[in-house]
Chain A
Amino acid sequence: MKWIPLTILVCIAAAAITLAAGYAGAGITAGWLAFILAGAVWMTIHHYTRWREGDTLGWIAFTAAAAVGLLIQRSSALMLAGVLMALIAWDLTSLDWRFRSAQRTEHTERLVRNHVRTLAFTLIGAGLIILPAMMVRVEFGFVPVLVLGALALLLLNRAIRALRS
């Protein structure tokens, strides 16, 4: 599967460019340069070293940067696109590592087809659902926010329990 490493590099570059564009749109030159540099570092780490945690760190850093970008009122669509690209890159690096660590592979096409299909379904679905949601702005008072926060915590708690079981 020679296309996987290339796709990873493309996704990292796309994530970096998208986030950089988001920051550049707001006139923050330092942020723009920082993303280009961060993307280059992630690509270098992935391509030239065997440091597996480097990919995870890159993905977390990009997601955190997107959150900061939203916090300082950058473009929601670009930030979301950046996060999705970073998630695809991280997912594919994980698949790539699994292939690299295997001595032999069986029914590879089937495995990759299943993986890509699930990933595409997940991310396209997520993008389609969330993008309109980000465009819509609804204002809540303190109490509904509190209730929603409690609900979110409750759901997370249930999710963790379900995952543990």
Chain B
Amino acid sequence: MAAKPRLLLVLIFALVLLGLATLNGGIVALAMPLVIYLAVARLRMPEAPRLRVGRSLSLEHTSPGVPVVVKLDITNEGAPLDELRVEDVVCPGLEVIEGETSTLGALPSGGRIELAYTVRGNRGEFNFDDLHIRSSDSLGLFEQFHVLSAPAYLLIRPQVRRLRPVAVRPPRTRGFAGPIPARQSGSGVDFIGLREYQMGDRLRWMNWRVSARHEQNLFTNQFEQERIADVGLILDARQQNDVLTSDGSLFDHAIQATASLADTFLEAGNRVGLLIYGRGREGVFPGYGHVQRERIFRALGRTAAGHNYALESLYHLPTRFFPAHSQIVFIGPLNGGDDVAVLTRLRANGYAVMVVSPDPVAFEMQGLIPESNQSNVRRTDTRSGHERPAITRMTGTEYANRLSYVERRLALLRLKRVGVQVIDWRVDQPLDQALATASPRGNPSALGREARA
């Protein structure tokens, strides 16, 4: 029973008892208006409402921050309702920026109520469903609560940033022309070698300088073919590798990077697949074009970091998911020696491996150290060009930061040594900037410098 009828009953009971105890009929009579008030309310209590509810969204798939209009149409198919309160349950993570999510009113038989409001939110999958209905008598004493279902689905894809073409060099390419050097001679732009002149060779390909050194032979330049390739993106969604600070989650940055890379590779005509490794092993099989991009964005939109004891290590990475000798791009912060060992094994199996690693140490320290102190604890290493913690004024946290930094640098160095393209990405900098520093063949001199450092 609701609070108001209970209060009325208590008051009625008290007045009747007082009247009887004092033998005062007037006091008992004083309780009568309350009794009649309560009785009328009880008699006018509504039946279970018969409502038809429909929900529509202006967009079903959208990008972060884009307003989406949610419309609810409620029709009374039963008896008139004296008082009706409708309240829509907005999914957590969505912000109402305009309109109302609840309404109060009377609804005659066949009457309609329309609710419309605008929401926006960040990446995620949102299932609208519950609609809270409270119908009561006209005095508002007896209330009935019902939950109606009005399902709708909204997917907010991750933010995509346009990147410059990413330089990759997989051992095997596909048969169609594209932007990736194929390690085979043919029509192309980059010089790959010389061969003796054959009938049909274009004169403009003739290498006159070399031909002049030989009396009988002519030589033509050969160029490297450029084709499309298979690119497999692996997103590390393991909970233990995620870092949560007041600035957000490192995993969100990794998702953004994955979406941007997928967009860039697909834009160049490559065949791209996605594997999300975390709670489970969710995959988008390799494919081309806009439809594939949409599939990948949807998968990224609904994914979340999760924990699975069976997938704590990368050892269960299904390498057969991607074609042999293709390009694999692993996106995630590296976790100790296991990850390095698995990525090394992938490289040994003939895949070209690129690691885009959002820096968890720098990300976590940003949240721990106040802005004003950050200049005191970080400095730029003149030899490697990387920022690292300064030695001055070090606290326990800063020692831990420094140790983590060293451990991470060593892990990245081990990967570089086996020929993995490593992109050490501080998430406060644009990914494009980090990718620009990476070379598909590695930079031996820089590697040597870092090893010595």
Using a CB–CB cutoff of 8 Å, the interface residues on chain A facing chain B are: 56, 60, 63, 66-67, 70-71, 76, 79-80, 83-84, 87, 91, 94-95, 98-99, 102-108, 110-111, 114-115, 117-119, 121-123, 125-127, 129-130, 133-134, 137-138, 145, 148-149, 152, 156, 159-160, 162-164
Contact = CB atoms under 8 A, between A and B. Distances in A.
Contacts of A134: 25-26, 29
A163 B1 contact: yes
Interface residues of B, number: 49
Given A91-B139, A156-B13, A163-B1, A105 B42 contact: no
29 contacts: A63-B15, A63-B34, A67-B15, A67-B27, A70-B26, A71-B22, A76-B26, A83-B30, A84-B33, A91-B37, A98-B83, A98-B104, A99-B104, A102-B103, A102-B104, A104-B100, A105-B103, A105-B105, A106-B106, A108-B105, A114-B106, A126-B37, A127-B33, A133-B29, A134-B26, A145-B20, A145-B23, A152-B28, A160-B9
B138 A115 contact: yes
Contacts of A115: 82-83, 138-140
Given A102-B104, A127-B33, A107 B111 contact: yes
Contact of A87 (B37, B44, B113): B37
Contacts of B42: 162-163
Nearest to B36: A126
Contacts of B25: 133-134, 137-138
Contacts of A110: 105-106, 108
B9 A79 contact: no
Contacts of A125: 36
A85 to B, nearest CB: 11
Given A63-B11, A79-B26, A107 B106 contact: yes
A67 B12 contact: no
Interface in B88-121: 100-108, 111, 113, 115
Interface string B2-30: 00110101011101101010111111111
B40 interface: yes
Contacts of B44: 118
Contacts of B41: 118
